[in-house]
Amino acid sequence: MKRLYFPLLAGLLTAGTVLFGGCGPEKQSAQDTAAEALPDISISRSPYGRTQAGEAVDMYTLRNRQGMEIDVITYGGIITRWTAPDRDGRYANITLGFDSLVQYERSSPYFGALIGRYGNRIAGGSFALDGKTYTLETNNGPNHLHGGERGFDKVVWTARIQEEGMHPYLVLTYTSPDGEGGYPGTLSTTVTYTLTPDNALEVVYTATTDQKTVVNLTQHAYFNLSGDFSQPILDHVLSLAADQYLPVDAGLIPTGEWAPVAGTPFDFRQPKAIGQDIEAQDTQLSLGRGYDHCWVLGQADSLRQVASLTHPGSGRTLAIFTDEPGIQFYSGNFLDGSLPRPDGGTYGHRSGLCLETQHFPDSPNQPSFPSVELAPGETYSSRTTFQFSAQ
Ligand code: GLA
């Protein structure tokens, strides 16, 4: 599999650093830690807990020399913590999460999780494939959302560290049995999380099936680049490389129209504060309770930059690259102060936002949308890179 790396920036390493490579911590003396001997990336594993069903869950921590750290648990492939530097080089956690497996199992709005088999909604929880109708679980009013009651966010993935010289990466696999959630075919899915030396995370998804099916995988991290989750994300400045977006009905199902963003609150072609238009009188904003829509990205199939997000106060900036045709920008409208933050307090309205790279919602029922079908012998493949910097 082709792997992408961005140029290595100057190492910030000092002698005597504790190294974590492979599956266990390993201390080295100051003499041993000549810069050229140290890996650019290290990955460590630790036990995280057990699900209510008794399955063991591990946490893997990916680190690079600059100081970025990403905690991933095997339950849901969830990114529970992700640090990024501000303009003064100060690292802070920029992704919403919980501090216990119990809380993730009890109630999570997909914080940090891998989403499958189908990211986003399928109208009426049903679709037809080759003349046969399939009935999915309806877990969002009358509709199917994010794979159903027990989507890929709620299963325990098998994890391994793939050693590749100085650049190990995390490999997660899950085999979804035929019929799970109502979907046809046994779906074998692999997701890799690769931290790069220059503060990017590459997420690569592949899947194969033994029967024709539909697939749309994504990552559901909630970002708040301020690192202060008591604050809403309305001051974040967003740009999206999209001339069109998909208007929705009251159930957040696309109407089928591809609407121009020009002259609407949905125009993020130039960087704009999220709060600038979010309260504008607009039917689509009312239906979404804010932004909760899919933007149509140009030049599908090639990895290109599609979004940029900056928190002006800290300078933290996130650039998103993907080969997907769409991106769901969700402004955290359903966060309502009922979920606990690890640092005390609760997650308030719009205290995080999602930028989910994906195929369009309800594609199985919308012939004008890019196909999400996967047949035996084919390999589903998709990639997204989250590149951090500071301004
Ligand atoms: C997605 C949807 C939102 C909401 C969140 C989870 O991003 O687009 O409408 O359901 O997941 O709360």
Closest approach atom of ligand 1 to CA 361: 8
User: Given the CA of residue 330, which atom of ligand 1 is nearest to it?
Assistant: 7
The pLDDT assigned to 14 comes to 27
Report the nearest-CA residue for atom 8 of ligand 1: 292
Question: Is the Cβ–Cβ distance between 179 and 185 less than 8 Å?
Answer: no
Q: Give the pLDDT confidence score for residue 271 in this predicted structure.
A: 98
Torsion angle, alpha carbons of 69, 325, 225, 291, to 10:
-140
Atom of ligand 1 minimally distant from the CA of 335: 12
Pairing relationship of beta strands 353-358 and 222-223 according to DSSP bridges: antiparallel
Q: Is the CB of 195 under 6 A from ligand 1?
A: no
Ligand 1 centroid, distance to 330 Cα (angstroms): 7
Q: Does the Cβ of 219 fall within 6 Å of ligand 1?
A: no
CA distances from 87 to 211, 225, 229, 316, 388 (A): 50, 12, 19, 7, 11
pLDDT of residue 72: 99
Would you put residue 337 in left (φ > 0), alpha (ψ -120 to 50) or beta? left
Residue nearest to atom 9 of ligand 1 (CA): 292
Q: Is the CB of residue 328 below 6 angstroms from any atom belonging to ligand 1?
A: yes
Instruction: Calculate how far, in angstroms, residue 174's C-alpha sits from the geometric centre of ligand 1.
Output: 23
Q: Mean pLDDT, 10 residues at a time, over the chain (391 residues)? A: 33 28 37 58 97 98 97 99 98 98 97 98 98 97 97 98 92 98 98 98 98 98 98 98 98 98 98 98 98 94 96 98 98 98 96 98 97 98 98 96
Which atom of ligand 1 lies nearest, measured to the CA of 252?
A: 9
Walk me through the domains of the chain, giving residue ranges and CATH numbers.
Answer: 43-382 (2.70.98.10)
Distance 242 CA to ligand 1 centre (A): 20
For every residue of 134-185, which 3-state class applies, written as one string?
EECCCCECCEEECCCCCCHHHCECEEEEECCCCCCEEEEEEEECCCHHHCCC
pLDDT at 36: 56
Distance 147 CA to ligand 1 centre (A): 12
Q: Fill in the amino acid letter for 242.
A: A
Supply the pLDDT for residue 348: 98
The pLDDT value recorded for residue 243 is: 98
Q: What is the pLDDT of residue 37?
A: 60
C-alpha 378 – ligand 1 centre gap (Å): 29
Residues serving a catalytic function are 220, 356
pLDDT at position 153, please? 98
What confidence score (pLDDT) does residue 166 get? 85
Q: Is the CB of 330 under 6 A from ligand 1?
A: yes
Gyration radius of the chain over CA positions:
20
Does 339 contact ligand 1 (Cβ within 6 A)? no
